[in-house]
Amino acid sequence: MLYLIAEWLNFEGIFNLIRYQTFRSGATLMTALVIGLIIGPRFINMLRVRQGKGQPIREDGPQTHLAKVGTPTMGGLMILISLTFSMVMWMDLRNPFVWACLAVTVGFGLIGFLDDYDKVTKASHKGVSGKVRLLMEFAVAGVASYLIVSQINTNLYVPFLSDVSIPLGPFYYVFAAVVIVGAGNAVNLTDGLDGLATMPVIIASGTFAIIAYLVGRVDYSAYLGIPHVPGAGELAILCAAIMGAGLAFLWFNAPPAAVFMGDTGSLALGGALGAIAVASHHEIVLAIVGGLFVMEALSVIIQVFWFKRTGKRIFRMAPIHHHFEQKGWAESTVVIRFWIVSIVLALMGLATLKLR
């Protein structure tokens, strides 16, 4: 909104700063952070009053988690409010990538909200049927994929190799939807400990802020040998909004958490990362940068598959962060070590920009 106003004023005087994506990225981060910190305390109190017993805690999970009974969930609404407001305030609303990614973020957030609401009202950790949830997610991702692919080509670019791509043709629409849904659910599975999903999402968002900015610049993309996507640089501002909203939420989610993100936040943030990766043509790099999320999702898939085949478990408990808890690692130890893994993976992802 401010960008359009500044443009109407011909970017004169101080409004000239708004012309630059780097300035608006920093301003968006600070806006989302301040909004989140301001609304946080009252929002958490409202959730605590309305939910009563808070998020249901699995009795078959780590026994230390039983101390978290009564902690409210749906804290992802705080993230969505601060993120959406700051996006609308600072981004160029004529950019189709903005609306595609916003559709995924809000759409997945709504699906997560319905799941959280079902869990709280029924006092059960099961929530909405997995098949129904996936159907809704693919519907949202399908619309977003159509909007994104209408602005880009249908090639899958391979990292570490310059100007090497795989033409997927019409199949790219399906591939894009799978990336978005997969990212949303991978982050959702990671969100099992205080602060575990939030910081890796912030790290991944910071990484993709750099990638989106470079991809949107014809000079930098030509120098680095990465695909150039006109307009994708605007997504760096969305990444900054995620970082600001995530930092504000982490202030209240730090152990012991005053509020849980819930599916409302984890699905929305994961879906947003997936949409940004598709729009910037760095889908494979997302699997590297978000390797922690991939590891969490794979641990669940492998556990379920092996248990159905043999009746035995490979991990003591899935997702894998619970496996380490069952081995005796303290929750804070698991969280901090997984943060370190995320930082290393982010650096590896950034290395793909130059190592070609």
Residue-number span of the structural domain to which 249 is assigned: 1-354
**Look-up of token digits 């991702």:** 141
Check if the beta carbon of residue 91 is closer than 8 Å to that of residue 3. Answer: yes
Report the run of H or E that residue 326 belongs to, with start and end: helix 320-326
Name the β-bridge partners of 167. Answer: 155
Residues 6+ apart with CB under 8 A from 321: 190, 192, 193, 196, 296, 334, 338
Query: In this predicted structure, what is the pLDDT of residue 129?
Result: 86
Domain count for the chain: 1
DSSP reduced 3-state for 98: helix
Query: In this predicted structure, what is the pLDDT of residue 309?
Result: 92
Mean pLDDT of 158-169: 87
Query: In this predicted structure, what is the pLDDT of residue 16?
Result: 84
Check if the beta carbon of residue 10 is closer than 8 Å to that of residue 3. Answer: no
Mean pLDDT of 312-321: 92
Check if the beta carbon of residue 253 is closer than 8 Å to that of residue 261. Answer: yes
Q: How many CB atoms lie within 10 A of CB 62?
A: 17
Query: In this predicted structure, what is the pLDDT of residue 68?
Result: 66
Query: What are 5-40's pLDDT values in tens digits?
Result: 887 787 887 878 888 999 999 999 999 999 999 999
Check if the beta carbon of residue 229 is closer than 8 Å to that of residue 281. Answer: yes
Asked whether the CA dihedral 339, 340, 345, 350 is positive or negative, the reply is: positive
Query: In this predicted structure, what is the pLDDT of residue 63?
Result: 55
CA gap 170, 145 in Å, rounded: 11
Flag whether pLDDT at 274 surpasses 80.
yes
Mean pLDDT of 72-99: 94
Residue stretches of the annotated binding site for Mg(2+)? 188, 263
Considering only 53-57, 230-234, 275-279, 288-292, which range has the smallest mean pLDDT?
A: 53-57
CA gap 124, 133 in Å, rounded: 16
Query: What are 141-160's pLDDT values in tens digits?
Result: 999 999 999 999 999 999 98
As given in the structure block, the two tokens for residue 249 are 């939420």
Check if the beta carbon of residue 120 is closer than 8 Å to that of residue 113. Answer: no
Please provide the DSSP assignment of 260-274 as one string.
Answer: --HHHHHHHHHHHHH
Flag whether pLDDT at 66 surpasses 60.
no
Flag whether pLDDT at 312 surpasses 80.
yes
Flag whether pLDDT at 212 surpasses 90.
yes
Query: In this predicted structure, what is the pLDDT of residue 235?
Result: 97
> Taking all residues of the chain, what is their mean pLDDT, rounded to a whole number?
91
Query: In this predicted structure, what is the pLDDT of residue 186?
Result: 97
Query: In this predicted structure, what is the pLDDT of residue 6?
Result: 80
**Spatial CA neighbour of 180 closest among 295, 296, 286:** 286
Residue 22 or 53, more confident: 22
Query: In this predicted structure, what is the pLDDT of residue 64?
Result: 60
Query: In this predicted structure, what is the pLDDT of residue 60?
Result: 56
**Look-up of token digits 């590896």:** 348
Residue stretches of the annotated binding site? 188, 263
Query: In this predicted structure, what is the pLDDT of residue 62?
Result: 62
